[in-house]
Structure 1
């Protein structure tokens, strides 16, 4: 049973009783939840279209199979939430906190995740596409054998990430933090590697595939002319 809401400002009290009905599928269109505490609510399968959730607290919420389109949720908190198979498309998720959340098979496409924190999140099957992750904390996430399309990871912390055999299609690793990251067999020819020193290349990119232009730029960074 789908229960629709449109153009409303909603609080925890408005949703608490509905969230206890396992048959209810909530559909929110252009609704406002700014600053609300929705922690622990069971919102499985809910749909959010054009909603505002600035600084909303969704800690420990059940958000599996949810759909989020054109939402604004800057500063929202998803700590320990279950977002298995969730889908985010064209959303503003800047400075969101996903610490210890379950993000198995979740997908983010055309989203803004600048400054987002993914500390200790469960990320098996997690995927990003054409998104901004500038300055994000992605430590320890595995991207192994994925096709990584147009991800801006500039200044992101990808320490300990597994990029082995990944294919980068565009995007940027400019000034990224690479400690203990693995790139064996990764194809980085289409990626912006600006700001990385050749010493980092030797340490972290062993076995990776680069273009001749990228290699020349890195050598030029040492003051050596390539002709």
Structure 2
């Protein structure tokens, strides 16, 4: 039977137990961990539900294969964190620092990532659906084969990013910056591309279908 931790005292006791992986396979539920320092800790293969980790120090934390649902990570430092093959739903990562984070093969739905910093992050083969990524900074990031479906990316910055074979379907990219991005074999389907900066992009094999390219984007 999976252990469920709902007490902050129990959480801290296990955290200080000296075990290398104190929470493996456990469920963390309803904990207020605002501002906590878990830098470098291993939280892989966990379920984290309805927890608050706003402004937490999570640099280099290991969350591989974990399930995160309704987790508040606003303003958290997740630089270099490992999310590979994690499942995220209804989480708030607005203004979070995700620079150099590993997000390969992540499956995410209903995220808020407004103003998040994903510079030099690697989200190859990830899938983001029904999420708000307005104003994200993803310059230099790797998004090879990444799917963005029913997402808002208004004012996002993907300068010098690798978007090889990425798919943007039913998205709003109005006013975004994709200058010098690698868009080879990428596809945009039913996408709002008004006022997008495509200068210097690599576009061999780029596919466009039912896109809006002209006119000012609607006011935010």
Alignment-derived partner of residue 8 in structure 1 = 26
**Structure 2: runs of 5 or more not aligned:** 1-17, 216-220
TM-score by length of 2: 0.77
Greater helix share, structure number: 1
Alignment-derived partner of residue 69 in structure 2 = 54
Which one has a bigger Cα radius of gyration? 1
Alignment-derived partner of residue 44 in structure 2 = 29
Deviations 1:189-225 (A, max 9, x none): 412212137xx4xx49xxxxxxxxxxxxxxxxxxxxx
Deviates more, 1:107-116 or 1:166-175: 166-175
RMSD value over aligned CA atoms? 2.7
**Structure 1: runs of 5 or more not aligned:** 205-227
Count of matched residue pairs: 197
Deviations 1:139-174 (A, max 9, x none): 223334444211111221111123334442223111
Establish whether residue 43 from structure 1 lines up as the match of residue 73 from structure 2. Answer: no
> What SS does the corresponding residue of 1:49 show, helix, strand or coil?
coil
TM-score by length of 1: 0.75
Establish whether residue 164 from structure 1 lines up as the match of residue 179 from structure 2. Answer: yes
Alignment-derived partner of residue 113 in structure 2 = 98
Compared CA separation, residues 90 and 2, structure 1 to 2 (3 A): farther
Q: Indicate if the aligned counterparts of 2:140 and 2:161 stay in contact, CA closer than 8 A.
A: no
- Work out the CA distance in 1 between the residues paired with 2:199 and 2:152: 21
Return the match for 1:126 from 141, 147, 150.
141
- Work out the CA distance in 1 between the residues paired with 2:125 and 2:109: 12
